[in-house]
Amino acid sequence: MKRLAIYCGSATPSDPVYIDSARAIGRTLAERGIGVVYGGGRLGLMGAVADGALAAGGEVIGVIPQALVDAEVAHRGLTELHVVAGMHARKAAFTDLADGFVTIPGGTGTMDELWEALSWAQLGYHADPVGLLNVAGYYDHLIAFWEKSAEVGFLRPQHRNLLIVDDTLDGLLTKMAAHVPTQPIVRMKTSDL
């Protein structure tokens, strides 16, 4: 994996574990020679990931909608900053620029990005690994929801392992490196659906 799209929040939670982990994630990826593709913001976890990677000499590519540039939240010290028309173009650029996706804590926008990466993997629009870093148990309930979806049949058995989960970045990157693409929906027979 040469570049990973990092999905995360632009907020700064009161518990420093989230900002500290985001900064460490950026630094660790840079130290491993893995570039960061992210939302292009300077605030919250977004800014911490970018700053951590940049401080360690890493490549950081931001993709940000013009409206957010106009709101003055763009990070101006990145390796590259791509300004796009809107959120759809932003998410498409993440897929084009990255070899995989890592979701760390965030809110609604982060969930939108994660679910789209998973949905596109199910459909066969990409075959890249989709990781979820469960920092401080933040995603415990989301992981339970994913398992419940599989249990009741909304998630096909061949897609259950599309969401790669770990509590540590090292563990997550190891699992993602071993990712084997699954059979996408577009290649299934009607009887399998």
Amino acid at 83: V
The CATH number covering residue 130 comes to 3.40.50.450
Domain enclosing residue 80, as ranges: 3-192
Q: What percent of the chain has pLDDT over 90?
A: 89
CB 66 within 8 A of CB 84: yes
Express each pLDDT in 111-129 by its tens digit.
999 999 999 999 888 999 9
What pLDDT was estimated at residue 183? 72
Report how many domains make up the chain. 1
| Planar angle of CA 16, 20, 24, nearest 5 degrees | 170
3-state secondary structure the chain: CCEEEEECCCCCCCCHHHHHHHHHHHHHHHHCCCEEEECCECCHHHHHHHHHHHHCCCCEEEEEEHHHHHCCCECCCCCEEEEECCHHHHHHHHHHHCCCEEECCCCHHHHHHHHHHHHHHHHCCCCCCEEEECHHHCCHHHHHHHHHHHHHCCCCHHHHHHEEEECCHHHHHHHHHCCCCCCCHHHCCHHHC
What tens digit of pLDDT does each residue of 77-99 get? 999 999 999 999 999 999 999 99
**188 pLDDT more than 70:** no
Query: What integer is the mean pLDDT of 57-70?
Result: 97
User: Tell me, what's the pLDDT at 182?
Assistant: 81
Phi, psi of 132 (to 5 degrees): -130, 115
- Whose CA is closest to 24, among 1, 56, 63? 56
Q: What is the mean pLDDT of residues 140-151?
A: 97
**What are the CB-based long-range contacts (under 8 Å, 24+) for 77-83?**
77/50, 78/40, 78/50, 78/54, 79/35, 79/54, 81/40, 82/40
- Cβ atoms within 10 Å, residue 10: 19
pTM above 0.85, yes or no: yes
